[in-house]
């Protein structure tokens, strides 16, 4: 599944630095290599340039929301098969 099975590369994107810090700490301790982005535009650039093994991104990111992000990576032949895990931080169900 992962290109580098021993040390998979994860792209973590959230506009909340506290979330990035907590998840980064956990993932780093578990031998994952990390890229992080505070904006969805940064995340999109990293996805296209670094081609991570998996992307973890906040569904409700400003600028480019989760479904649009998935669509943009999905049409690119180099990123269309990267799994994306959406997180929701601090949102109410009626906002989704």
pLDDT, tens digit, for every residue of 1-40?
Answer: 556 568 899 999 999 999 899 999 999 999 999 999 999 9
- Total of domains in the chain: 1
In CATH, what number is assigned to the domain containing residue 49?
3.40.50.2300
**What is the residue range of 47's domain?**
9-87
Contact criterion met (CB below 8 Å) for 35 and 70: no
Residue 95 maps to a domain: no
**Could you tell me if residue 4 is inside a domain?**
no
Q: What is the pLDDT of residues 46-68, one digit of tens each?
A: 999 999 999 999 999 999 999 99
> What is the DSSP code (8-state) at residue 15?
S
Residue 26 in domain: yes
Residue 93 domain-assigned (yes or no): no
Q: Supply the pTM of this predicted model.
A: 0.85
Burial 20-52 (b: 16+ CB within 10 A, else e): beebbeebeeeebebbbbeebeebbebbeeeeb
- Would 2 be classed as within a structural domain? no
Asked, for residue 32, whether it belongs to a domain, the answer is: yes
**Per the structure block, which two tokens stand in for 28?**
């780093």
């Amino acid at each position: 599944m992962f290109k580098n099975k021993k040390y998979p590369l994860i792209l973590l994107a959230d506009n909340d630095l506290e979330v990035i810090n907590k998840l980064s700490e956990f993932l780093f301790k578990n031998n994952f290599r990390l890229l992080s982005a505070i904006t969805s535009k940064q995340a999109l650039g990293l996805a296209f340039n670094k081609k991570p093994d998996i992307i973890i991104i906040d569904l409700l990111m400003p600028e480019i929301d989760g479904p649009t992000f998935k669509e943009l990576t999905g049409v690119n032949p180099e990123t269309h098969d990267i799994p994306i895990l959406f997180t929701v931080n601090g949102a109410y169900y009626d906002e989704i």
